[in-house]
Amino acid sequence: MTDTPSSAGSPRPTGKPARQNVTFASGGADAHGYLALPPAGQGPGVIVIQEWWGLTDHIADVTDRLAAAGFVALAPDLYGGNVAHEAAEAFRMMRELPVESGVSLLSGAVDYLLARPEVTSRTVGAVGFCMGGGFVLYLAAHDQRVSAAAPYYGVIQGEVPDFSGLKAQIQGHYGEHDQSIPVATLQGLRETVRKQSGVDADLRVYPAGHAFFNDGRPEVYDPKASAEAWSATLEFLRENVR
């Protein structure tokens, strides 16, 4: 499962900087992210993991949507404030982020989120897109405090994670016409997860392409598939993040 500049579609039309409103310790250094609180002021915690573009307005909006649905949502900034503006740049930035470094920063984000007084859950959910979808799986395999993992068209960079320590339930969302993640590969992923962890991964396929949830990119956005996937994701998180 790999992503390339050609398979990711056209450049994201934005010149805006990364969205950040919180700073937290991670791996002995400061990390940053975008935090959104629910109307009630408290709720279960969810980590939102960016696409290869960076912590964009779209990812901040997804974080806000989760907050509106009752979650305390945090989108960590994996690129340290940088945002890609065209596909080749995004591809380079993704490749320059070691998986181990990304997982370490995300685990620090889990520490921070669970320590916040507004978070009522003992575990967190994780939702991610494209590169972030792959990191959802890496994080869930690494950190047993993740109880619900929802990758959207998750790109796994390099080796498939070792799922032997996985405790999270998995609900994945993929596009039937996604050239970067062939549907035929999903059965192998499902079997690997089941063999190593005993978890039956629910990997759902929609008649859409890559990045179908990104409503900031009308050339790839699929409203019907997005609405169906989002509704399922919210129900999944409510059932599994306690």
pLDDT at 18: 81
Check: CB of residue 220 under 8 Å from CB of residue 125.
no
pLDDT at 123: 98
User: Which of 237, 239, 182, 242 is closest to 209 using CA atoms?
Assistant: 182
pLDDT at 7: 36
Question: How buried is residue 164: exposed, middle or buried, by Cβ count under 10 Å (0-12/13-18/19+)?
Answer: exposed
pLDDT at 27: 84
- Report DSSP state, residue 200: -
Q: What is the pLDDT of residues 17-74, one digit of tens each?
A: 788 999 999 988 999 999 999 999 999 999 999 999 999 999 999 999 999 999 999 9
Q: Which two tokens stand for residue 155?
A: 């790109």
Beta strand residue intervals within 162-235, DSSP E: 169-175, 202-206
pLDDT at 6: 32
pLDDT at 130: 97
Query: How far apart are the C-alpha atoms of 159 and 134, rounded to whole Å?
Result: 11
pLDDT at 158: 86
Query: How far apart are the C-alpha atoms of 125 and 105, rounded to whole Å?
Result: 16
User: Which of 170, 164, 100 is closest to 133 using CA atoms?
Assistant: 170
pLDDT at 59: 97
Check: CB of residue 138 under 8 Å from CB of residue 174.
no
Which residue numbers in the chain have pLDDT < 50? Answer: 1-14
* H or E segment to which residue 133 belongs: helix 131-142
pLDDT at 28: 86
